[in-house]
Amino acid sequence: MSKKHQKVLSAIFSDHLSSNIHWKEIESLLIYLGAEFRESSGASLVAIINGIEFSMHRGHHNTTMSKKSLHQLRKYLESLNIRNQEIQK
């Protein structure tokens, strides 16, 4: 895992969620974790890892992911047994 991926994953699992995580960084991390993507209605994007889907809404004028969306992404990663401590080993 690249240092950039580690940094993003650490930010997702941080106690204090950042509002400065860019969509490209999230997508890159999810691709590294094996995600496939499909476009959904509007500005939604669905990530699929191990057959489990996660729908994300990309704001039309936002380049960063909201804290609420980051919290949902954290829950999704936890449901896949992906946790920050385990990845960094």
From first to last of the 89 residues of the chain, give the pLDDT tens digit: 888 999 999 999 998 888 889 989 999 999 999 999 998 877 788 999 999 999 988 766 778 888 888 999 999 999 999 887 555 44
- Per-residue pLDDT at 2: 86
Q: What would the two tokens of residue 8 be?
A: 């993003």
DSSP letter, residue 19? S
- Per-residue pLDDT at 32: 94
CA 21 to chain centre: 9
Contacting residues for 60 by C-beta, under 8 A, at least 6 apart = 43
All structural domains of the chain, each given as residue ranges with its CATH number in brackets, are 3-88 (3.30.160.90)
- Per-residue pLDDT at 89: 43
- Per-residue pLDDT at 87: 54
